[in-house]
Amino acid sequence: MNALVKLSAFEAALAEALPEGDLRAELSARGLPHRRVEDWKWSDLRTALARFDPASPALTLTASRSPDRTAEPEHGERLMARLAGALGQGEVYELAPGERLSLDIRAEAGAGHKVIEVIVPDGAEAALHETYQAAPGALANIALVIRVGAGARLTRLIEQDASPDGVIVLTGELELAQGARAHQTTLGFGARLARLETRVRHAGGGAHLTLDGACHVGAGLHLDQTTIVRHEGPDGITRELFKSAAAPGGRAVFQGKIHVERPAQKTDAQMNHRALLLGEGAEIDAKPELEIYADDVVCAHGNALGALDAAALFYMRQRGLDDARARALLTESFLMEPLDAVADEAERERLKARLRASLGAVS
Amino acid sequence: MLEIKNLHARVNPEEGADLAILKGVDLTVPAGEVHAVMGPNGCGKSTLSYVLAGHEGYETTDGAIRFEGEDIGELEPEERAARGLFLSFQYPVEIPGVPTLTFLKEAANAQRRARGEAEISAPDFMKLARENAAKLGISNDMLKRPVNVGFSGGEKKRMEIFQALMLAPRFLILDETDSGLDIDALKVVAEGVNALRNPERGMLVITHYQRLLDHLKPDVVHVMAGGRIVESGGPELAHKLEAEGYDKYAGEAA
């Protein structure tokens, strides 16, 4: 693991910017995550960034309000999150009950890093809405730690705009306290490489987590949705539904892991990924995993990969829809399910309209 | 109105073996007439309906399909639909997530746009849907469901005729519309089809049995065997087939 690699100019410049210490030594020795690192095997960040220039970073965060503090937010242990912590500024938001915080993040140039911590106090109900975009040649590297307090409820919505030739790495860590509820929905369109990672700890027992996602990845784009859910306390519930569609030349990745530790008895966890290849040259990679150390649990995962139903396409065309419209309508109906679970009607309809627009299907 | 001349077709070699199914079909249906095509299983009846509708799974190797004087043999399925060709499927396809009325309104307007006509407004479309649904005993709840999802075989056939009423095609092909229908449903569907009969519209009714024809009263009955029309006659031919079976045409099978 510690074999020295030849750093790309991008990696060398990143390392140069770091203070002397473990992180700099680690980056210098191993470089950025790449395809021979198991949980990045389908998302070669190193190659995607090799020709980028990290100099003159321009990363803008537009928030619905100013942060409560800017000092030393948590960022977790992942390499990209630690880089964000070392190279980027931090912001901490403590949400008020009923608050709806929006964070719009755009990387305009260079390598931009940011660390954000969001706290939902015990018993509070709050919403977080994030939008991510990266301009050609720009990297947005964001570490986001979210603490959902005991009995608190969080609705999290992530929109990842199509970002051709930009790179987005989002390392999200959610911690669910006793009896917390979180419902996360992602709508993504890909980038040169976009990695949306969600790591969840059921730290207390009896928490209820829903992770949903829909993505439509067009030609030349790549979207990786990786989820790692760790049940540490008992009686936790996890529901995951991810739907991916990749156009020819597009690539969608889903990695999902549910880890149930020994004390997490009566865990009820289900993970589902369904994927649609929209033509020759589309690629979808999926790896669902369960790792269970408790003996009294209900856990299941499903993964299915298919193409558009030729019989349905012919049927629709016989009624007068052209081939492109029939494909768009079928793809739309396939991808809508995770979005249908968004409780806020206005948000739900807005997301659906975005997806329809992406499919070239306005109805 | 519909002229089929010496039509030869085979399963598209990309999709399977090189299998010729239609071996010289000649058939002409004038406007205002209902023609039935009867024949044993495997004679090519359903293939004929797919080939007429432009299914990619079949390749026309010889002959021609003319619709109102135009050769439509090379047209895409949606182009044929826009010209007024409607196929009522033997096995209507379920399309989860696409509401029936949304789908039909899109289809109607896609056809209208292709013909250079104005689109139908939402209120006009809804009014028409309510009227046509009432004719076929289709509930509001059925209209709200996704296309064909959760319907019995008989309900699907009724929805096919509902779609035909909504799209008002110039020519209908009914592929085994009677299969899966009980006596009462058969009557309702037949009444729906009869409501579509008019002097400008032609119909081709493909069936294995004569019972649907008792209600539809075709002008001409054709017998298909071995990929060709082997006999044509009046409605009495259907009764003769029902009584005698298709054995005498067995020699025509390839």
Domains within chain B, CATH numbers bracketed: 2-95+170-252 (3.40.50.300)
Q: Which helix (H) or strand (E) holds B103?
A: helix B100-114
Average the pLDDT over B50-79 and give the result: 95
Q: What is the rounded CA–CA span in Å between residue B47 and residue B38?
A: 13
Mean pLDDT of chain B: 91
Q: What is the rounded CA–CA span in Å between residue A316 and residue B167?
A: 13
Look up the pTM and report it: 0.88
The minimum CA-CA distance between B249 and chain A, rounded to whole Å, is: 32
A321 touches chain B (CB under 8 A): yes
Q: Would the pLDDT of A1 be above 60?
A: no
Interface test with B, best of A243, A318, A325 (most B CBs within 10 A): A318
Average the pLDDT over B39-56 and give the result: 91
Under the banding of pLDDT at 50, 70 and 90, the label for residue B254 is very low
The minimum CA-CA distance between B74 and chain A, rounded to whole Å, is: 14
Residue numbers of A between 292 and 311 with CB closer than 8 Å to B: 309, 311
Between A258 and B192, the more confident residue is A258
Q: Would the pLDDT of B253 be above 70?
A: no
Q: Would the pLDDT of A363 be above 50?
A: no
Average the pLDDT over A55-81 and give the result: 90
Average the pLDDT over A6-11 and give the result: 93
What pairing do the DSSP bridges indicate for beta strands B34-38 and B202-207?
parallel
Residue A277 has phi, psi (to 5 degrees) of -95, 120
B15 touches chain A (CB under 8 A): no
What's the pLDDT tens digit per position in B206-218? Answer: 988 888 888 888 9
A324: nearest CA partner in chain B: B78
Average the pLDDT over B143-152 and give the result: 92
Under the banding of pLDDT at 50, 70 and 90, the label for residue A229 is very high
Q: Would the pLDDT of B109 be above 90?
A: yes
What's the pLDDT tens digit per position in A124-162? Answer: 999 999 999 999 999 999 999 999 999 999 999 999 999
> Under an 8 A CB cutoff, do A320 and B102 touch?
no
Q: Would the pLDDT of A61 be above 70?
A: yes
Under the banding of pLDDT at 50, 70 and 90, the label for residue A205 is very high
Burial class (CB in 10 A: 0-12, 13-18, 19+), A325: buried
pLDDT value of residue A74: 75
Q: What is the rounded CA–CA span in Å between residue A160 and residue A218?
A: 13
Q: How many helices (H) and strands (E) does chain A have?
A: 7, 17
pLDDT value of residue A354: 95
B163 → closest Cβ in A309, A319, A336: A319
The minimum CA-CA distance between A356 and chain B, rounded to whole Å, is: 13
Query: What Å distances lie between residue A325 and A134, A314, A361, B44, B75, CA to CA?
Result: 30, 12, 7, 31, 17
Q: How many helices (H) and strands (E) does chain B have?
A: 9, 12
Interface test with A, best of B78, B88, B89, B104 (most A CBs within 10 A): B78
8-state DSSP, A134: E
What's the pLDDT tens digit per position in A77-107? Answer: 899 999 999 999 999 999 999 999 999 999 9
Q: Which two tokens stand for residue A256?
A: 């999902």
Residues 6+ apart with CB under 8 A from A104: A60, A61, A62, A63, A130, A131
pLDDT value of residue B15: 59
Average the pLDDT over B80-103 and give the result: 94
> Under an 8 A CB cutoff, do B102 and A311 touch?
no
Q: Would the pLDDT of A198 be above 90?
A: yes
Residues 6+ apart with CB under 8 A from A218: A162, A189, A190, A247, A249, A250, A358
pLDDT value of residue B251: 67
What pairing do the DSSP bridges indicate for beta strands B2-11 and B20-29?
antiparallel
Residue A337 has phi, psi (to 5 degrees) of -55, -50
B5 touches chain A (CB under 8 A): no
Interface test with B, best of A243, A274, A316 (most B CBs within 10 A): A316
Average the pLDDT over A16-36 and give the result: 94
pLDDT value of residue A91: 95
> Under an 8 A CB cutoff, do A323 and B81 touch?
no
B170 touches chain A (CB under 8 A): no
Quick one: what percent of chain A has pLDDT higher than 70?
Answer: 98
Mean pLDDT of chain A: 95
B55 touches chain A (CB under 8 A): yes
Q: What is the rounded CA–CA span in Å between residue B225 and residue B211?
A: 20
Q: What is the rounded CA–CA span in Å between residue B79 and residue B3?
A: 17
B87 touches chain A (CB under 8 A): yes
Q: Would the pLDDT of B57 be above 80?
A: yes
Residues 6+ apart with CB under 8 A from B130: none
